[in-house]
Amino acid sequence: MNYRNLSLLLATSFAFLFPTSAQALDFVNTLTIPGDTTDLFPLNGGSGGANVNRLGMFSDLYYDRHQNVYYGLSDRGPGGGVIPYETRVQKFTLDVDSNTGAISNFAIQETIVFNNNGNSFNGLNPQLLNGNSSNLGMSFDPEGFVVGYNGNFYISDEYGPSVYEFSPNGSFIRSFLIPENLIPKESNGTPNYLNGRPTIVNGRQDNRGFEGLAMSPDGSKLYAMLQDPLVNEGSPDGRYSGNLRLVEFDTQTGESTAQYIYTLESLAEINDRLDPSSDFSATAQGRNIGISAIAALNDSEFLVLERDNRGFGVEDPTLPSNPLVGSKRVYKISLVGATDVSNISLAGTNNLPVGITPVSKSLFLDVASSLTAAGEIVPEKLEGLTIGPQLANGNYALLLGTDNDFSVTQDSGLTQYNVCTNGTTADDSIPINGSCPTGLDLIPGYLYSYNVSATELGNYVPPQTIPEPLTIFGVGTALSFGTLFKRKQSLKRK
């Protein structure tokens, strides 16, 4: 189906009032977005395809309450970074019932491609794009997304890890300065943005860079979270550790101002919920368990989406039994009292040294349990999280989205294939731009809505309003955060 002609039919399932035992949050409904849905990428006479205009999201999800629009982030594209894909974000609208929080009428308004001087950022890995794994260049695997009050986009990526600022039309503005301890390096100190261990001995694990991004309500700070621990921070490596880093950045200077430790749920606790035959192994602690998204509640508190790599998706397209899923949870965390570990290494240990306090966390929502109770599918890649509009009674809609990986998988020779399924049977041998056999469809994307009370959110401070453009000699101009803060400080000094 094509949004250019749009009226898109979305399958909507309702299951009101299914609170879990862990919290009093109500699951409301699901929107199912067909896997063959296309975005608004300009074809210019060419043909579309999975790596051209097939909709693939939500690697992140963001609600801009000042404009009442949403953004769904696509990642590096189908094929695991081995086929070209011009990275982009989808701007869309969504109806949210002001009484119940039920969502409907998903409609893309704009497809925005990320570019630098007209050249598109590409999901190809650095070796394929630049011929050099130590040169990040324009390789881009976007995973976290927020909109600043200046209207600009702030995006985190996994390849670097990186944090970039873009204008609202997708044009590159600047990159933030990444702390040295996060940059993936070989034993001789050479950066390597492609390979994993044992080639990489320091920095982020391969494909485990900045997975989540949030902004403080006043816009002065960005918070980027690694998906998993650093490759060298664990014993014998990061796969065995549960201690990952949350990095604070100053939006004025673009520099890091602090690093904190977020501790993943332990495998022992997760395995206690599973049949012993389905237990995760020790190497899964810092590899198969990780974070997918973060959303700010106020200056010090956040919601964090934590998950395992199990559930309905391209790796398991035939609806696994829910006991196989160990963790799909949202936690509320606080930075108050947490230790700044910018200059502290956790190399060679799975335990925090004496005197190191991680961020505090408490269970906010057991997503897997609530979906199971409502008779819903539990997807593998819950990756988007945003606090939606306020409802008539003062509650808020909390929205979660899945990444369907463009419904594409690849074989050992890195050839891509569509994943077609009816939930019971599946066929992953169809060429990437071929058609699914009769009775089978591409894996869809899902949007979930929860009705959350203001009490549950606690001290929620929405992002501050967008200021009026500064007028200079009768001409309006958009300002960067840095310029805005300098102006603010200058006024204070006067």
Each residue of 267-286: pLDDT tens digit? 999 999 999 999 999 999 99
Model pLDDT, residue 16: 39
Which amino acid would we find at residue 247?
A: V
Q: How many CA atoms, within 13 angstroms, populate the side-chain half-sphere of residue 119? A: 7
- Rounded to the nearest 5 degrees, what angle is found at the Cα of 317, between the Cα atoms of 311 and 319? 55
**Gyration radius of the chain's alpha carbons:** 22
Per-residue pLDDT band for 355 (boundaries 50, 70, 90) equals very high
Q: What is the dihedral of CA 32, 37, 39, 43, to 10 degrees?
A: 180
- Rounded to the nearest 5 degrees, what angle is found at the Cα of 344, between the Cα atoms of 343 and 350? 155
148-207 confidence digits (pLDDT tens): 989 999 999 999 999 999 999 999 999 999 999 999 999 999 999 999 999 999 999 999
Indicate the pTM of the whole model.
0.91
More confident of the two residues 444 and 472 = 444
Domain ranges of the chain: 3-463, 469-494
DSSP of 296-334: ESSSSEEEEEEE-S-SBBTTB-S---GGG---EEEEEEE
User: What is the DSSP code (8-state) at residue 220?
Assistant: S
Specify the residue for token string 């840095």: 482
Instruction: Indicate the helix (H) or strand (E) that contains 153.
Output: strand 153-157
Residues 6+ apart with CB under 8 A from 272: none
More confident of the two residues 10 and 329 = 329
- Rounded to the nearest 5 degrees, what angle is found at the Cα of 215, between the Cα atoms of 210 and 217? 165
Model pLDDT, residue 466: 57
Which of these ranges, 170-179, 184-193, 399-408, 480-489, has the smallest mean pLDDT?
A: 480-489
Helix, strand, coil in percent for the chain, rounding step 5: 10, 35, 50
Chain-centroid distance of CA 204 in Å reads: 17
Contact 62, 145 (CB under 8 A): yes
Structure tokens at 484: 């805005």
> Minimal CA–CA distance to 286: which of 326, 244, 246?
244
Specify the residue for token string 């399932």: 13
Instruction: Indicate the helix (H) or strand (E) that contains 372.
Output: helix 367-373
Distance CA 110, CA 374 (A): 33
Bond from prior residue into 317 cis (ω within 30 degrees of 0): no
Model pLDDT, residue 152: 97
Per-residue pLDDT band for 330 (boundaries 50, 70, 90) equals very high
Helix and strand tally (H, E) in the chain? 5, 29
Mean pLDDT across 424-446: 96
Q: What is the dihedral of CA 311, 315, 316, 318, to 10 degrees?
A: 130
Per-residue pLDDT band for 321 (boundaries 50, 70, 90) equals confident
Helix (H, G, I), strand (E, B) or coil at 370: helix
Helix (H, G, I), strand (E, B) or coil at 401: strand
User: What is the DSSP code (8-state) at residue 54?
Assistant: B
Bond from prior residue into 198 cis (ω within 30 degrees of 0): yes
pLDDT over threshold 50, residue 95: yes
Which of these ranges, 85-89, 108-112, 320-324, 467-471, has the smallest mean pLDDT?
A: 467-471
Residues 6+ apart with CB under 8 A from 345: 181, 232, 233
Other Cβ atoms closer than 10 A to 109: 12
Mean pLDDT across 463-477: 56
Model pLDDT, residue 412: 84
Three state DSSP letters for 375-400: CCCCECCEEEEEEEEECCCCCEEEEE
Distance CA 418, CA 445 (A): 15
Distance CA 326, CA 152 (A): 37
Distance CA 252, CA 490 (A): 14
Which amino acid would we find at residue 80?
A: G
pLDDT over threshold 80, residue 99: yes
Specify the residue for token string 């463009």: 406
Contact 88, 60 (CB under 8 A): no
220-251 confidence digits (pLDDT tens): 999 999 999 999 999 999 999 999 999 999 99
Distance CA 230, CA 243 (A): 8
Model pLDDT, residue 322: 75
Contact 150, 484 (CB under 8 A): yes
